[in-house]
Amino acid sequence: MNLHFKNVICVLFFFSFLLNVSAQEKKITGVVSDSSGPLPGVNVILKGTTTGTETDFDGKYSLNAKEGDILVFSFVGMKVTEKAVGAGSELNVLMQEDANLLEEIVIVGYGSTSKKDLTGSVATIGVEQLQDKPVANVTQALQGKTSGLQIVSTGGRAGDATQISIRGNGSLSASNSALYIIDGVPQEDMSGISPEDIKSISILKDAASTAIYGSRASNGVVLIQTNRGGYQKDISVSFNTSYGFQNIIKRPSLLNAEQYKQVSDAARINYEQDIASGALAGPKDPTILTPLPDSPYNTDWLKLVLRDNATVKRYQFSVAGGGENTRAYLSASLFDQEGIIKKDNYKIGRIKLNVEQKMNDYVKLGVNSYFSFSEATPFADDNNTYQPYSNALGARPDVSPYDADGNIAVHNFSNPLFAFERQVTDKWQNLGGTLFFDVTPIESLVWHSAFSGNIRSNRYNRYDAPNTRRGLNGDGVPTGYGYYSTENNRDYLIENTVTYTDRFANDKLKLTLLGGHSFQKWEYEDSFVSGENFPSSDLSWLVSAGEINQGRSFYKAMALESYFTRLQLSWDSKYHFMVSTRYDGSSKFTKENRWGSFPAASIGWTISNEKFFNVPAINELKARASFGYTGNQTGISYASGQSLIGSGENYDQAPGLAATTIFNPDLKWEKGQALNLGLDITLFDRIDVNLDYYEKETQDLLSRVNVPQESGFRTMLANVGNISNKGFEANINARIIEKENFKWNFGANFSYNDNEVLKVGSETGQYTTGFASIVKEGSALGSFFILESAGVASEEYTYKDADGVDGQTVAAGDMIYVDQNGDGKITDEDKKVFEGGIAPIYGGFNTSIEYKGFDLGISGQYSIGKKVYALFKEDGLNGGAVGAPSYSENMLTEMLDYWTPTNTNASNPRPHLSSEISAWNTQRSSRYLEDADYLRISDITLGYNFNFLKDSDVKFIKSLRLYAQVRNPFTFTKYSGGDPEVSYVDQTAQSGQDRTDGSKIEAGVDLGGIPNVKSFLIGLNVKF
């Protein structure tokens, strides 16, 4: 009996053990593929739970599950596949395409939506277009990638920034820059992230898409989501590196010493002949007619300041992966660039860490953090006496760069080499992050709460040693000069959103409701101290200065609070509707004008999903329309609408207070309204076309107006103007060939923007600004106000007034200008407005070909209708206007085509020493205004993937790619200057909430700034 009982117990225990084993989890592995091969990035979810993972680069996945569990496989453009876990541990899946399922996810403000439900104008840029680009800032890699996005490089300095605008420029003094949202956090720029860190980029262009960001979104929004790793995903290690060389994109042609003497002699001889004929009186100082002596020197100043084969190096390392409840991404990168100007260097390092943890099925915590540091040795700005490149353009070739003692020679012009004497470092550190949690109390409801902070600090140190040119004081005494400044800029953001998403009516009605609150505060601290009387040129810190002669420090703060909501509805994948509003309050304005409301609405109709629609060639046809309001308060002072009293207004050594700004109690938001009409078409399952027409008007422009002098001020900030932008955009992307061993894709975009200043708020309806620019009602921003040139007089020319009476006479060989008002003479009243400083038509293109292991990518950009005022040519074509002992600056070789009695069809007037004649011939006119349309091949990349490694014994290498790349190899343009893309920007200016932006209204002026660069590099991408 006892033995029988024991046997029964053993049998029961055995079956219990078997049942327990069968119910235990096991590791399921497999490969997910489609007809073309393995699929990376497929979502694999354990049905009924939030547990899941993604397939890796080779389509492989692993997941813990029990026999009988259902695994759900989903991927963009594929039918959702469900597979049951069997007795084995391997489960491979072949996914099928679903041509009718366009569930591509697009990142939008405070969330995401499927592309088929999208009603606004949103462009997505594939991250593959950003990879392997040797750029200091991500914005440089976005150039030409989508319509409506106009990005202009500001020159060839190491670490140079770019100017970016979306659908034109709509402000005079407030910011014209787009808003950057990185992982949900507003940022001033994109310098803190590497291209390899980016998972997705969305460009929000119309008001319906941007209005959810209210007062910060009038210039468009760039949304960036960074990599986060994957749940239950094997650890993946990546290493990317490249090394290359950079050179000036175009070297200007300057006169050599012999040619310089030829022009100088011609200028002197022409003056002497006019004196002899009685046309001109002799100079007060006859010694200026002393002939330029012969010289043994023939100095190539550009060779002395330019660096050949400047290096550019890039290193990036990342680790990504995750377990069942944790995923993480860690990256570190270094970008090291030598400028094409000697001693110009820029270096930036970045570290990024994203960690996400599922606490349970209801709560998820996460941290997105980043740190970056940069160090630069910046040179003087383009509009500066000591800018080495522009000084090299004007330096005389017939003198030595050094004196007899080997020191930098002092001449009557600014020796370009003086720029290299200064010791300067500019260091920035940026530390920030976001702590967030998501709570999902029920399946359809998510509460997202986030706290973000950012600290950006700067240390700028400059030293001019006593034995340098700039180390001399005003009396020429070698005292030395030191300057040290610091900035500490902080901001924090507290944001809470609640999102409810559900389906009704047998899943035909899809509803998404969002509500949220946001509070952000900025704090800025700035200080500097300067000194002189250094005892030694080797002691460069201010502690060694014998006299601290100046110093300052200040603090300022501003805040923005917001409430916002959005409702999205979609019925049967045919009819789509969205309405949103945001209510913003800014500390910059008075209580009466502090709050602004920014509503928007949009609709969409997917015509191709209607039963009556039967066009086999058209897979998708969707019409969109939107209208909304946005605002702008970025770029104006931290308390522009307040009545401020400032300290530091001292008198006779006694401290004092005084009003710092004139009080404008009516100051309020800039407000923009925008209409957008769009059409999305997919043809033959291969060609995607997006068409958009928009009208955008900015009202109540923030700009300064003149006030009576008895107020104690000259100007006051007010809401005074309107600007209109209207345009058309087109994008086309085609998957021309898609085969297993051969793929060919092509994309192109086109943008046309008609910008017009409707009102500026002045009595005259215009005002001049910058060097040759004007803001005028009825004209576009970026217009020029100059005389209209009619060429060189081949013979004596006499102006006549409206009655035919003779007026001003121009000698043969001198410039003729158009007498616009017909009064028989040339004055400022004859100046004319010329548009084109900002191109109205622009776009880009790209194509990629893959054949077996090889890949070839080509991209480019173009600009049509652009003009550049070559201001540097006013000196570069001066005609030898200065005589002994100083003599003129050097000139461009095109000056050699000057008028003589035997060359009457010359492009340039006769050289002349008379200040009267030279001033006439070099007036600010369309003589220096050039067509600057261009087509640029911006990138050619040829790579090879070593695919055979997958089947080799080197199992630890998942992929390896080697590539060669040329950047900016070809530029086709009529512009004779260094670069048609030129745009003068103050490189010392920093972005910020209270920094004004006048660069767009002064666009298209070439001061002789450092041109862009072309580069060649090789690179390596490895995944382990």
Model pLDDT for residues 799-814, shown as the tens digit of each residue = 999 999 999 999 999 9
Domain C-terminal end among 94, 118, 146 = 94
CB 85 within 8 A of CB 67: yes
Stretch 822-841: mean pLDDT? 94
Residue 797 lies in a domain: yes
Q: Note the pLDDT of residue 590.
A: 84
Model pLDDT for residues 209-218, shown as the tens digit of each residue = 999 998 888 8
- Alpha-carbon torsion, ordered 582, 588, 592, 596, to 10 deg: -20
Contacts with 772 (C-beta within 8 Å, 6 or more apart), sequence order = 784, 785, 786, 869, 871, 924, 1005
Model pLDDT for residues 671-703, shown as the tens digit of each residue = 889 999 999 999 998 999 999 999 999 998 888
Q: Note the pLDDT of residue 989.
A: 45
Q: Note the pLDDT of residue 263.
A: 97
Measuring CA to CA, how many Å separate 595 from each of 167, 174, 443, 583? 26, 18, 35, 7
- Reply yes or no on whether the pLDDT at 36 is more than 80: no
Stretch 490-519: mean pLDDT? 94
Rounded to whole angstroms, the Cα distance separating 827 from 806 reads 16
Stretch 407-431: mean pLDDT? 92
- 295: exposed, middle or buried (C-beta count within 10 Å: 0-12, 13-18, 19+)? middle
Stretch 704-708: mean pLDDT? 79
Q: Could you tell me which residue, 954 or 825, shows the higher pLDDT?
A: 825
Residue whose structure tokens are 């304005």: 589
SS3 of residue 259 by DSSP: helix
Rounded to whole angstroms, the Cα distance separating 712 from 658 reads 11
Classify each residue of 330-358 as buried b or exposed e, where b means 16 or more C-beta atoms within 10 Å of its C-beta.
bbbbbbbbbbbbbbbbbbbbbbbbbbbbb
Report the Cα 760 to chain-centroid distance in Å.
27
Q: Note the pLDDT of residue 19.
A: 37
- Reply yes or no on whether the pLDDT at 235 is more than 80: yes
- Reply yes or no on whether the pLDDT at 846 is more than 60: yes
Question: Which of these, 301, 390, 347, 393, lies nearest to 158 by C-alpha position?
Answer: 347
Q: Could you tell me which residue, 275 or 953, shows the higher pLDDT?
A: 275
Rounded to whole angstroms, the Cα distance separating 657 from 662 reads 14
Percentage of residues of the chain with pLDDT beyond 90: 60
Stretch 250-279: mean pLDDT? 96
Stretch 326-344: mean pLDDT? 94
CATH number at residue 90: 2.60.40.10
Model pLDDT for residues 833-842, shown as the tens digit of each residue = 999 999 999 9
- Reply yes or no on whether the pLDDT at 927 is more than 70: yes
Residue 68 lies in a domain: yes
Residue 873 lies in a domain: no
Rounded to whole angstroms, the Cα distance separating 328 from 353 reads 7
Residue 134 lies in a domain: no
CB 143 within 8 A of CB 844: yes
Measuring CA to CA, how many Å separate 659 from each of 526, 647, 667? 21, 9, 17
CB 927 within 8 A of CB 907: no
Question: Which of these, 194, 204, 196, lies nearest to 124 by C-alpha position?
Answer: 204
Model pLDDT for residues 40-99, shown as the tens digit of each residue = 888 899 887 878 888 887 788 999 899 889 999 988 777 788 899 988 889 999 887 764
- For 172-290, list the strands marked E by DSSP: 179-182, 185-187, 198-204, 221-226, 233-248
Stretch 578-606: mean pLDDT? 92
- Reply yes or no on whether the pLDDT at 384 is more than 90: no
Measuring CA to CA, how many Å separate 160 from each of 179, 216, 316, 773? 20, 25, 20, 24
Q: Note the pLDDT of residue 487.
A: 94
| pLDDT band of 591, cuts 50, 70, 90 | confident
Residue 27 lies in a domain: yes
Rounded to whole angstroms, the Cα distance separating 871 from 940 reads 33
Q: Note the pLDDT of residue 762.
A: 82
Residue 616 lies in a domain: no
Model pLDDT for residues 980-1015, shown as the tens digit of each residue = 986 544 444 445 545 555 566 788 899 888 888 999
| pLDDT band of 17, cuts 50, 70, 90 | very low
* Amino acid identity for residue 374 in this structure: S
Q: Could you tell me which residue, 25 or 732, shows the higher pLDDT?
A: 732
Stretch 274-294: mean pLDDT? 93
- Reply yes or no on whether the pLDDT at 143 is more than 60: yes
Measuring CA to CA, how many Å separate 507 from each of 74, 117, 503, 644? 18, 14, 5, 58
Q: Note the pLDDT of residue 641.
A: 58
- Reply yes or no on whether the pLDDT at 346 is more than 50: yes
Q: Note the pLDDT of residue 327.
A: 94
Stretch 536-544: mean pLDDT? 91
Measuring CA to CA, how many Å separate 666 from each of 138, 216, 589, 591, 629? 39, 20, 9, 11, 20
Residue 64 lies in a domain: yes
CB 471 within 8 A of CB 480: yes
Model pLDDT for residues 451-503, shown as the tens digit of each residue = 999 999 999 999 999 999 888 988 889 999 999 999 999 999 999 999 999 99
Domain C-terminal end among 775, 805, 834 = 834
CB 223 within 8 A of CB 256: no
Q: Note the pLDDT of residue 984.
A: 46
Stretch 354-363: mean pLDDT? 94
Q: Note the pLDDT of residue 1007.
A: 87
Rounded to whole angstroms, the Cα distance separating 319 from 54 reads 15
- Reply yes or no on whether the pLDDT at 9 is more than 60: no
Q: Note the pLDDT of residue 769.
A: 85
Count of beta carbons in the 10 Å neighbourhood of residue 60: 17
Measuring CA to CA, how many Å separate 613 from each of 427, 574, 622, 657, 685? 61, 12, 12, 74, 16
Q: Which of 342-346, 368-372, 403-407, 715-719 has the lowest mean pLDDT?
A: 715-719
Beta bridge partner(s), residue 676: 626, 694
SS3 of residue 898 by DSSP: strand
pTM above 0.95, yes or no: no
Q: Which of 408-417, 703-712, 733-742 has the lowest mean pLDDT?
A: 703-712
- Reply yes or no on whether the pLDDT at 16 is more than 50: no
Question: Which of these, 22, 44, 57, lies nearest to 958 by C-alpha position?
Answer: 57
Q: Could you tell me which residue, 187 or 131, shows the higher pLDDT?
A: 187
- 792: exposed, middle or buried (C-beta count within 10 Å: 0-12, 13-18, 19+)? buried
Sign of dihedral through CA atoms 1002, 554, 645, 188? Answer: positive
Helix (H), strand (E) at residue 697 = strand 687-706
CB 742 within 8 A of CB 851: yes
Q: Note the pLDDT of residue 15.
A: 37
Rounded to whole angstroms, the Cα distance separating 40 from 57 reads 5
Percentage of residues of the chain with pLDDT beyond 70: 92
Rounded to whole angstroms, the Cα distance separating 868 from 872 reads 11
Rounded to whole angstroms, the Cα distance separating 597 from 671 reads 10
Q: What is the CA radius of gyration of the chain?
A: 33
- Reply yes or no on whether the pLDDT at 633 is more than 60: yes
Domain C-terminal end among 72, 94, 116 = 94
Enclosing domain of residue 821: 790-834
Model pLDDT for residues 869-888, shown as the tens digit of each residue = 999 999 999 999 998 888 99
Stretch 172-188: mean pLDDT? 84
Rounded to whole angstroms, the Cα distance separating 583 from 879 reads 60
| pLDDT band of 6, cuts 50, 70, 90 | very low
Rounded to whole angstroms, the Cα distance separating 561 from 563 reads 7
Q: Note the pLDDT of residue 724.
A: 95
Q: State in Å, rounded, how far the first CA of the chain is from the last one.
A: 64
Q: Note the pLDDT of residue 311.
A: 96
Q: Note the pLDDT of residue 30.
A: 92
CB 524 within 8 A of CB 556: yes
Number of domain units in the chain: 2
Sign of dihedral through CA atoms 292, 295, 300, 301? Answer: negative
Stretch 157-168: mean pLDDT? 80
Q: Could you tell me which residue, 974 or 708, shows the higher pLDDT?
A: 974
